[in-house]
Structure 1
Amino acid sequence: PTPAAPHREQAAWWAVVGWLGLLLQVLLRVIRGAPSSLAKLLRSLGLRHPLLSAAPAVAFVQLPSKAPADDLPPLSPPPGRLTVVLDLDETLVCAYESSSLPATVRTQAVEAGLHCFDMEGISSDKDAKGRQRVNHVTVFERPGLHEFLQKTSEFADLILFTAGLEGLSCRTFILLSIKSPVSN
């Protein structure tokens, strides 16, 4: 044989040992992870090796279920009134230009129980003659809006935010605040 043959033979044996080690590790993980019939058999024969046990080797001490009363911090006074900022547009209400809103959409919304109202608002845009345009808008309220505002106002000051036109937003705010206490 050539001088390289013993080296090759030794490398082959190390490869076999490596594969057997890997196979043994997989087998031990299977035995530890799921109590199989093989693991039960080995335990019944009295083979209790730490590798076969799924239980942790560390003992845990159970803590008391309640903290002693003298260790509790003093109760803090109840918090003051909260402030809640709500977005008006597309959150509390949805407004659409009436001329672009199909009648079927409005009819279906009303039949589904949504409350809606129509408003006129002066736009910042002007027509060809220099007069300010009047927008006719249909406003849909979110379901449960007034109940939400009423309940929230019991524990918080409500502030409405809007990026919409001032004229329409103010009128919408007025119509909402008639039924619900809201600050602007």
Structure 2
Amino acid sequence: MNLLSRRCRNALDSLCIPALSARAGVALAAALSLGASSCASIVGEHEAETKFLVKPSTQAKFSGWSEVSVSQDPSSVDGAKLMFIRLEARDNNVPDLTFIKSITAEAVVDGAATKIAGKSPMPTGERIVPLDRAYHGDIRKFFYEDTENGGYTVHVDWRGELDLTKKIPEEGVWMKVIVAVSIE
């Protein structure tokens, strides 16, 4: 049975975020499929890693989306809260993230977007930057029943603005995103 379905679409050829890594996605699927009363070891803090590519362009805007699907109903756990989202340049030649002027992550359900995190401006000299959390409630509500995939899906839209005065390698910069969730 397929517990995790991953999809990503690149919009404007500037940002692409694969959903969760297979290992982290399976861990999230397992955590959501086993209620806290079923397995006490699922309760606690869990991290997942994603990535996206920021490519140089003449446009200052970038956008994209990512989705994660699980086969079990997220309401089978008592709760899930976002602890942090952290960005990091995967390329060691990038001194900091100031080539990104701003970034916003929004969870979208039935056309309604909820800002979950963002950052503007990026601090000078920092290669690892935590986003500012904008949403502090239970994230299970962002999973909707997805009959196409036979499970439950969370959809995240990413958008932002680039600083065109900063040099970005022609092949782009891969960004690593670490997401930490507390499962109750």
TM-score, length-scaled by structure 2: 0.23
Q: Report the structure number with the largest CA radius of gyration.
A: 1
Relative to its length, the structure with more strand (as a share) is 2
Higher relative contact order (CA 8 A, sep 6+): 2
TM-score, length-scaled by structure 1: 0.23
